Amino acid sequence: MGTEELLLNVVFYLFAIGAVVASIAVALSTNIIRSAFALLGVLFGVAAMYAFMRADFVVAAQIIIYVGGILVLIIFAVMLTHKITDVNVSNESAPGPAAVFAVLCVLFALCVIIATRTWDRSAPAESLTSMEKLAGDTKPTTAMVNVTLLQGDGTTGVLKGGEVRSPFVVLRYEVTQAPSTAEAAHFALECSERIENQPDEKKRWAPWSPVKETTVGLTNGLGTRDERLSNLKPGRYRWTASFVGGQGTLALAGGKPWTIEGTTFTVEAGLTRPLGVALMSRYLLPFELISVLLLAALVGAAYIARKEVKEL
Amino acid sequence: MSTLAFSLSDFSWSRLVDVEWYWAALASFVVCAVIINLLAVYAGLNTLIERKIAAAMQARVGPWQVGPHGWLQWAADALKLMFKEDIIPLQADRMLFRLAPFVVFGGSFACWVALPFMPGWSPVTMNIGILFVLAVSSSVVLGILMAGWASGSKWALFGAMRAAAQIVSYEVPVGLTILGMLLIYGTLDMQKISAMQESGGVFGIVTDTHLGIFSWGAFRHLPFTFIACMTYYTGALAETNRTPFDIPEAESELVAGYHTEYSGMRFSFFFLAEYANMFVVSAIATTFFLGGWLPPFGTFFSHVLGIGHGVWIMPEGLGRMFEGLFWFFGKSFVLVLLMVWLRWTLPRYRVDQLMDLCWKKLTPLAFVNLFAIGLSEYNPWIGLGLGVVALGFVGELIRREVMAPAPVEHPKIA
């Protein structure tokens, strides 16, 4: 484990421990206001976990909704409740057997999920399958190519006179399994002309110029290497890839994040767009069902809060 | 390669400038140190400028004793605040009382790292830019609530409740106007948003010509984006608790609002946060509506009109960055000074008037505006038609106002 990795792990566990400690404080604090404020720590800790999962949009949404909305609402409710601090909120009675049983069930379910699920921290399923399909198309690989979708820093270049300056993309690849054949593991990615502008990048605001051909090849042996692709502009590129023998991970990262889409890949700006597309297509029904649930909760709250009209 | 290690560095400099992690860490540290000092000095100078402007508007001289014409007063104030006793009231919840100023300050300071200060460079480049700013600034509300509650004083609590209610309410019109502008830009990245205002034109004219000021966001779909600009600025005034929306710290009613019980350095953190927030909202307005770091003169001015030929085209490389810095800060400071001007011009709203303005006027306006911007973006001709209708509507309102007989006031004498 390198120093950088160690440091990042330390940072990760600091956030994780912080979140756990804060949640314990929420549960155990006898002062309900302090509990509510400790929730702030929990929510920020969870947001940090999302950040470690590269889900930047989810981080922002988490903080906006839970810290800016829900938590403020909770604190308001607590403050407006008459003499709430005088109430002893701690449970006098020990948790009943039913509660213990329920909690154990949930814990068991969580453990099962954690243990059985393959935690693919890298790629969304779509890009993986399309990559596999492509690998089959283009030929002679039996090895699975694991495409890691990494999200980059957004724009690093500057728009000026129709060209982006200093954008670069690091193609990081890792060969994890020795090639079965005598020949070395080989992955080649060739980006030729740009097909079209990025969908959300309207042409009129983004007068990009076509990109030069870039070819990256990797050869021989295990390990991780970085190749630098320079002079790439956002857009869709035609590409060809071949992977011969071995097994490895290919990650495109750096200036721009990438999505593999059939025979073209699109330079995406972060997770916001894929998330929006997923919510509005594949997960539309659950999404709408949840909103119905929230509506029901809202109606219920309004019903409870309304004043009783006295019958005359 | 650890996915974890790689993922965190996505947020850091090491990917951007392609250096070792310790250089990236050092760079982050230096940038944070520079920004935090910049912020402190800026806030100090801003207090002084505010007092000077107030004095000028009220025919006084203002601070005069420290330094030439009193121009070092801010440093003296800062020193005094640092050495003041840190008083914690007996009734206070000591832990939360101590924590609150830092939550408030942290929330407003964190916004600064996402601002597009110059072309191609922000302290942290992230593609969720504006969303990040909106997110972290929400901890300001919590800090204020924390301060008000922990002070154990009813004035502080009242102030905090008012502040929180106000900020949460005004986030609605502010968010809606920003949403409308995002329809035009199609990105959350504040660098890209700035860059996109280089070309294009009024009424959604599609062109690659750099029209300078006419390409800016506020003039994109003319009546509506400008209305969005004004709505945003009004909402931003309320979110920063500035006059005429400063009811959370209304001196005549609440002593000083949520920071009544604070003294010394902790008090000054609230102060710093307020001024930092003023700059942040002004910077967002600059980025979304006033072209960010772009100069107001495009190639259109130099090539077609022959104004400032070769002078107003941004230079290449480092020069471009520094010119961008100049314009960004210049525009933002103008908006900050506008806030100061408004403070000494307008009287304070009442609580009910404030909520009335937000929920009954600004929010519906922002909603209608959002739809109008969406339609204009769909088809500029629809936008033009809607704009004419809107202007006619406003004209009719003004005509009624002018034509109506002046209401005769009969003051009731109790």
* CA–CA dist B105, B140 (Å, integer): 7
- Choose the closest CB to B16 out of A37, A63, A153: A153
- State the pLDDT at residue B304: 60
Interface of B with A in 195-254 (CB under 8 A): 195-196, 198-200, 206-208
pLDDT higher at A103 or A54: A103
Contact B131 A61 (CB under 8 A): yes
- State the pLDDT at residue A180: 42
- State the pLDDT at residue A212: 34
Where does the pLDDT of residue A58 fall: very low under 50, low under 70, confident under 90, or very high at 90 and above? confident
Contact status, residue B336 vs residue B278, Cβ threshold 8 Å: yes
Residue A109 has pLDDT above 90, yes or no: yes
Distance from CA of A254 to the nearest CA of B (A): 6
- State the pLDDT at residue A27: 84
- State the pLDDT at residue A302: 83
CA-wise closest residue to B92 among B151, B145, B148: B151
Which residues of chain B does A3 touch, with a Cβ-Cβ cutoff of 8 Å? 21
Give the pLDDT mean for A58-72. Answer: 87
Tokens of B328: 């960004």
Contact A60 B135 (CB under 8 A): yes
Residue B193 has pLDDT above 60, yes or no: yes
Where does the pLDDT of residue B314 fall: very low under 50, low under 70, confident under 90, or very high at 90 and above? low
Tokens of B388: 């004419």
- State the pLDDT at residue B176: 92
Which residues of chain B does A228 touch, with a Cβ-Cβ cutoff of 8 Å? 18
- State the pLDDT at residue A84: 60
Where does the pLDDT of residue A147 fall: very low under 50, low under 70, confident under 90, or very high at 90 and above? very low
- State the pLDDT at residue B286: 93
- Decide: residue A304, CB within 10 A, 0-12 exposed, 13-18 middle, 19+ buried: exposed
- State the pLDDT at residue A4: 64
DSSP class of A184: P
- State the pLDDT at residue A83: 64
Contact A76 B161 (CB under 8 A): yes
Give φ, ψ of B255 to 5 degrees: 65, -80
State the DSSP string of B67-82: SGGGTTHHHHHHHHHH
Give the pLDDT mean for B10-17. Answer: 39
Which conformational region is residue A168 in: left (phi greater than 0), alpha (psi within -120 to 50 degrees), or beta?
beta
* CA–CA dist A301, A295 (Å, integer): 10
- State the pLDDT at residue B177: 93
Contact B93 A34 (CB under 8 A): yes
- State the pLDDT at residue B281: 93
Contact A8 B2 (CB under 8 A): yes
* CA–CA dist B155, B255 (Å, integer): 7
Where does the pLDDT of residue B1 fall: very low under 50, low under 70, confident under 90, or very high at 90 and above? very low
pLDDT higher at B206 or A285: A285
Q: Dihedral sign, CA of A103, A108, A113, A119? A: positive
Residue B394's CB: how many other CB atoms inside 10 A?
12
Contact B139 A154 (CB under 8 A): no
Mutating which of B7, B178, B203, B316 best tests the A interface, going by the most A Cβ atoms within 10 A? B7
Residue B242 has pLDDT above 80, yes or no: yes
Number of A–B residue contacts, CB under 8 Å = 195
Residue A118 amino acid letter:
T
* CA–CA dist B372, B387 (Å, integer): 8
Tokens of B127: 């593609």
Contact A207 B199 (CB under 8 A): yes
The answer for residues whose C-beta is within 8 angstroms of residue B128's C-beta and 6 or more apart is A56, A57, A59, A60, A270, A272, B188, B189
CA-wise closest residue to A250 among A227, A234, A230, A272: A227
Q: Chain A contact for B134, CB < 8 A?
A: yes
To the nearest whole number, what is the mean pLDDT of chain B? 81
Contact A153 B11 (CB under 8 A): yes
Angle at A273 between CA A268 and CA A276, to 5 degrees: 160
Q: Chain A contact for B132, CB < 8 A?
A: yes
Q: Dihedral sign, CA of B31, B35, B41, B45? A: positive
pLDDT digits (tens, 9 = 90+) for A2-30: 666 677 778 888 999 999 999 998 888 87
* ipTM for the complex shown: 0.78
Give the pLDDT mean for A248-255. Answer: 38
Q: Dihedral sign, CA of A236, B133, B370, B285? A: negative
pLDDT higher at B391 or B405: B391
Contact status, residue B197 vs residue B116, Cβ threshold 8 Å: no
- State the pLDDT at residue B302: 60
Interface of B with A in 21-40 (CB under 8 A): 21
Contact A154 B320 (CB under 8 A): no
Per the listing, tokens 């119905």 go with A292
Residue B106 has pLDDT above 70, yes or no: yes
Tokens of B174: 């502010």
- State the pLDDT at residue B272: 87
CA-wise closest residue to B338 among B300, B290, B373: B290
Cα separation values, B365 from A46, B159, B232, B244, Å: 36, 28, 11, 20
Helix (H, G, I), strand (E, B) or coil at A252: strand
Residue B405 has pLDDT above 60, yes or no: yes
Partner residues linked to A253 by β-bridges: A170
Which residues of chain A does B164 touch, with a Cβ-Cβ cutoff of 8 Å? 72, 75-76
* CA–CA dist A202, B206 (Å, integer): 10
Which residues of chain B does A75 touch, with a Cβ-Cβ cutoff of 8 Å? 142, 145, 149, 164
* Cβ density class B138-168: b for 16+ within 10 Å, e for less: bbbbbbbbbbbbbbbbebbbbbbbbbbbbbb
* CA–CA dist B248, B143 (Å, integer): 14
Measured distance between the N- and C-terminal CA atoms of chain B, rounded to whole angstroms: 80
Mutating which of B4, B127, B378 best tests the A interface, going by the most A Cβ atoms within 10 A? B127
- Taking CA–CA distances from A85, the nearest residue in chain B reads B149
Residue A66 has pLDDT above 80, yes or no: yes
- Taking CA–CA distances from B147, the nearest residue in chain A reads A37
- Choose the closest CB to A200 out of B1, B8, B186: B186
Least confident among A153-162, B156-165, B189-198, B332-341: A153-162
* CA–CA dist B169, B166 (Å, integer): 5
Least confident among A69-73, A267-271, B272-276, B398-402: A267-271
Residue B46 amino acid letter:
N
pLDDT digits (tens, 9 = 90+) for A169-188: 334 444 444 444 433 333 44
- Choose the closest CB to B149 out of A33, A200, A202: A33
Mutating which of B10, B115, B190, B221 best tests the A interface, going by the most A Cβ atoms within 10 A? B10
- Taking CA–CA distances from A198, the nearest residue in chain B reads B186
Give the pLDDT mean for B293-319. Answer: 62
Residue B245 has pLDDT above 70, yes or no: yes
Interface of B with A in 307-366 (CB under 8 A): 314, 316, 320
Give φ, ψ of B194 to 5 degrees: -60, -45
Mutating which of A155, A170, A218, A271 best tests the B interface, going by the most B Cβ atoms within 10 A? A155
pLDDT higher at B203 or B16: B203
Residue A122 has pLDDT above 80, yes or no: no
- State the pLDDT at residue A237: 42
- Choose the closest CB to B138 out of A64, A155, A228: A64
E-only strand ranges, A71-222: 145-149, 159-160, 163-164, 168-177, 186-196, 214-218
Which residues of chain B does A255 touch, with a Cβ-Cβ cutoff of 8 Å? 15-16
E-only strand ranges, chain A: 145-149, 159-160, 163-164, 168-177, 186-196, 214-218, 223-230, 236-244, 247-254, 258-261, 264-267
- Taking CA–CA distances from B95, the nearest residue in chain A reads A34
Where does the pLDDT of residue A189 fall: very low under 50, low under 70, confident under 90, or very high at 90 and above? very low
Give the pLDDT mean for B105-134. Answer: 83
- State the pLDDT at residue A195: 40
Where does the pLDDT of residue A153 fall: very low under 50, low under 70, confident under 90, or very high at 90 and above? very low
- Choose the closest CB to B126 out of A153, A166, A204: A153
pLDDT digits (tens, 9 = 90+) for B261-282: 888 888 888 888 888 999 999 9
CA-wise closest residue to B7 among A48, A36, A261, A191: A48
To the nearest whole number, what is the mean pLDDT of chain A? 59
Pairing relation of β-strands A145-149 and A247-254? parallel
Which residues of chain A does B188 touch, with a Cβ-Cβ cutoff of 8 Å? 270, 272
- State the pLDDT at residue A255: 30
Tokens of B5: 């290690």
Least confident among A190-199, B182-191, B269-278, B385-394: A190-199
pLDDT digits (tens, 9 = 90+) for A212-248: 333 344 444 455 554 444 444 444 443 333 333 333 4
pLDDT over 70, % of chain A = 41
Contact status, residue B187 vs residue B259, Cβ threshold 8 Å: no
Where does the pLDDT of residue A167 fall: very low under 50, low under 70, confident under 90, or very high at 90 and above? very low
Least confident among A103-107, A146-150, A230-234, B229-233: A146-150
